[in-house]
A and B are shown apart, each in its own frame.
Chain A
């Protein structure tokens, strides 16, 4: 399934989505759009409203106000249609430990009314995709945490949904299992799935996702491309410079340039802040070398998603 062939309907669109629990507002007027084919990272502190949003999209909770549409279907009025097009993986396993792997997937395949003749092949295919073919006959209780998580992903894929809602799919996994899980997600995106993934492991979301949303205390703080959030947060492009000697002269030379907003010395290095994000910083090396200085290090500062997250949120929970 390629994203180009689909009509331009967003995979997910929420308008003023609000959910309250008694006096507490878990989600406050959330406006969110996720395009088809996106691998969308959903970031927020504990209790920020990520799981509530995913549960509303998975038709488990009704919004207190506002609307949410999934693949063009309203989550309240067309809940059944929504259930056919989503694959929902919560932040717990939800398994019967005395069931075999095949039995588990066969059961969920039947829940989606996949014909019996087709089910066996589908089960084999999804097991192959998540790398669990060897464990077909194993009892679920005997699988490791990582394998149970992969089994959960296989369950989500059994009916070939268009949208995957994954709540903390990598939580509690060891680094290898996490990397494997992320590789599977990239493969799924390549196959044309739209994926919304909530996670705390921001460094992985940074490389994995093309778009992210940051949410805090039920309010959307940012939604857009990963690069965009960095640009929005940083006051200007930052370049780190180290020279062999004559640091003071290097500061003077750099400050003479109009593109430079400021230079400061930090632990033997120079932090050069440009006047904008799109400044070509190749002049820095040229200025220093022409000035007769020995350049040891020159590095553009990449504002990580974690740093961005820490800057835009206060870590407040509700």
Chain B
């Protein structure tokens, strides 16, 4: 074992990054904000749901689990693949270091960073013990489960990173593995129970930290988990992490060298190139068709692998939904198909968000990394043309899919509304009832604006992905930032605002959840959803405008300084004050 030099090097690098400090500060600050916010709102509105600190503890633990798991992915998923790309991994293997040294070194260094983040979170979560309703055993179990989940995500990140050279593939693969481990296994048990028409029994789910966190809850209605069962499940998940590390240590020494031009991997590479770019004749045809207008559009469109995968994916999904409906009992086929469709749409929407951000960030990052962006800008092509070309290529690749998704989703929502809200609205109008048209009108407006907001969300993620890929170093970090700051964080804020608005409206109308008039309840819900959709549209428009302006104004200088950037890191470029350096943009 000789992994300490790697740990030392990694920790030195981490110590120089301001982010190392800010992450700890951010984790503690966010959780403290959540705690104070929920407590303040609950006390302020006289809600009786707190049960001492129990429900706050539940909120915080379910926030901490995905955050720290995601942080683990963020820390390790590109750790080894980046070294492969930059050629530094080969230099490590020219010394006496072995695969396990490198893997353990990376793990120790990154785990330390994750550990500090977790350590910052725990005292805040522990504050709920003081409010009562949370036992020490429960707190300890939650701490162990979340810690284990962090370890598992770090280990899975290293495994995927050891197998891949491409940062995007490593991060996507790790996200997929972690999602599979956290919720995918729950889905498998759920499907099995549904097919057998039996109760849900945890089998595959025993590997899921999310399931263990749920099972460890000490709340009324749940049988407390015995110590033996807890430790058994926890131990199995922990062992899985070590298996992933062993896999990484075995794969790494075999994957860092450039592959031979012959053999099966070369065959796969040739097949992949043909799938993405087509054969020589198809390439020439495609060039003739698109190069004459805006040549950058051809550049953005020439890799058609994703577009083809999308068509294939939609076809396979259709078959899968049909198969699933066919397996269900005869009377429940329509319902099963609808459920499967709704699940598919949910997954497809998130996939679309990820693809949108990834395609925008990937294109601009490649322009920067290869230096071709600078060469293109040395020609009469303008930054505006590059922006338009990427936007058009995105729409051409995903447009039909977006329209399809929006259509199917609108249909399902409409059907659901007709089955529930509509009937109440159609009832005879009584004194003090809302007007009969209010519910359908609000529902229709909400539906339309909701779909529009989803498209605008995609455009915002695309615009932010572009800018952060240009301003940053790693495209997948740009994707995480674009989705996290452009979508998830504003959505979380809007949910809280919607909740507070809901409570305020109920108080204003002298109603409580128990005694509210059902029709007013629906109207209020519709109005709030409409307000959230409008706020989302406003937020998206602002973000798109902001990111678009930044890319247009700063593309030339960012691309120029990347290659000759010995003087000033791009990330530290000041904002508006440096507009004078943009020439002829």
Contacts and interface: CB of A to CB of B under 8 A. Distances in A.
A111 B380 contact: yes
A93 B291 CA distance: 22
B381 A111 contact: yes
Contacts of A252: none
A233 interface: no
B291 A106 contact: yes
Contacts of B280: 100, 137
Contacts of B380: 80, 83-84, 111-113
Contacts of B582: 62
A62 B287 CA distance: 34
Interface string B445-461: 00000000000000000
A76 B581 CA distance: 10
B485 interface: no
Interface stretch (B84-92, B530-538, B562-570): B562-570
Contacts of B277: 98
Given A47-B566, A79-B584, A92-B563, A111 B379 contact: yes
Interface string B550-585: 000000110010011011100000000000111110
Interface stretch (B193-201, B224-232, B326-334, B369-377): B369-377
Interface string A193-210: 000000000000000000
A100 B283 contact: yes
Contacts of A51: 564
B291 A90 contact: no
B273 A98 contact: yes
Interface string A45-89: 001000110010011111000000000000110011001101010
B30 to A, nearest CB: 34
B379 A60 contact: no
B179 interface: no
B292 interface: yes
A61 B583 contact: yes
Contacts of B378: 58-60, 83, 86, 88
B583 A75 contact: yes
A26 interface: yes
Contacts of A79: 583-584
A110 B295 contact: yes
A36 to B, nearest CB: 21
A7 interface: no
Contact of A60 (B299, B377, B580): B377
Interface in B279-336: 280, 283, 287-288, 291-292, 295-296, 298-299, 302
A24 interface: yes
Contact of B560 (A55, A84, A111): A55
B382 to A, nearest CB: 8
A279 interface: no
B291 A60 contact: no
Contacts of A113: 380
A74 B356 CA distance: 40
Contacts of B296: 111
A258 interface: no
A283 interface: no
A62 B377 CA distance: 14
B375 A108 contact: yes
Q: Which of B287, B299, B379 has the most CB of A within 10 A?
A: B379
A103 B287 contact: yes
Given A22-B568, A55-B564, A110-B292, A62 B370 contact: no
Chain B interface size, as a band, is 35 or more
A110 B298 contact: yes
B298 A94 contact: no
A21 B385 CA distance: 29
Contact of B295 (A61, A90, A111): A111
A195 to B, nearest CB: 16
A62 B581 contact: yes
A107 B291 contact: yes
A26 B583 contact: no
Given A107-B295, A111-B380, A137-B280, A90 B584 contact: no
B584 A76 contact: yes
A137 B284 CA distance: 11
A56 to B, nearest CB: 9
Given A93-B371, A94-B375, A98-B273, A80 B299 contact: no
A116 interface: yes
A95 interface: yes
A88 B379 CA distance: 9
B328 to A, nearest CB: 45
Interface in B335-368: 366
A299 B403 CA distance: 83
Most chain B beta-carbon contacts within 10 A, residue among A110, A112, A137: A110
A293 to B, nearest CB: 58
Nearest to B261: A142
A26 B563 contact: no
Contact of A94 (B295, B374, B557): B374
Given A47-B566, A111-B381, A90 B298 contact: no
Contacts of B287: 103, 106-107
A139 B2 CA distance: 41
Contacts of B583: 59-62, 75-76, 79
Given A112-B379, A112-B380, A116-B291, A103 B566 contact: no
Contacts of A211: none
Contacts of B288: 116
A155 interface: yes
A90 B370 contact: no
A24 B581 contact: no
Nearest to B303: A98
Contacts of B298: 107, 110
Contacts of B377: 60
A110 B566 CA distance: 32
A26 B565 CA distance: 12
A50 to B, nearest CB: 11
Nearest to A107: B295
A155 B567 contact: no
Contact of A21 (B283, B567, B580): B567
A65 to B, nearest CB: 11
Nearest to A75: B583
A79 B378 CA distance: 10
A76 B584 CA distance: 7
Contacts of A24: 567
Q: Which of B296, B372, B560 has the most CB atoms of chain A within a 10 A radius of its CB?
A: B372
B274 to A, nearest CB: 12
B292 A60 contact: no
Given A26-B567, A52-B564, A107-B299, A116 B371 contact: no
Interface of A: 21-22, 24, 26, 47, 51-52, 55, 58-62, 75-76, 79-80, 83-84, 86, 88, 90-96, 98, 100, 103, 106-108, 110-113, 116, 137, 155, 159
29 contacts: A26-B567, A47-B566, A58-B378, A59-B378, A60-B377, A61-B581, A62-B580, A62-B583, A75-B583, A76-B583, A79-B583, A80-B380, A83-B380, A92-B371, A93-B371, A94-B374, A95-B372, A96-B366, A103-B283, A107-B291, A107-B298, A110-B295, A111-B296, A111-B376, A111-B380, A113-B380, A116-B288, A155-B375, A159-B379
Interface of B: 273, 277, 280, 283, 287-288, 291-292, 295-296, 298-299, 302, 366, 370-372, 374-381, 556-557, 560, 563-564, 566-568, 580-584
Given A60-B557, A94-B371, 9 more contacts: A21-B568, A55-B560, A59-B584, A60-B560, A79-B584, A84-B380, A88-B378, A96-B366, A108-B375
List of 10 A-B pairs having minimum Cβ-Cβ separation, nearest first: A79-B584, A94-B371, A110-B295, A60-B560, A21-B567, A111-B379, A110-B291, A94-B375, A88-B378, A62-B583
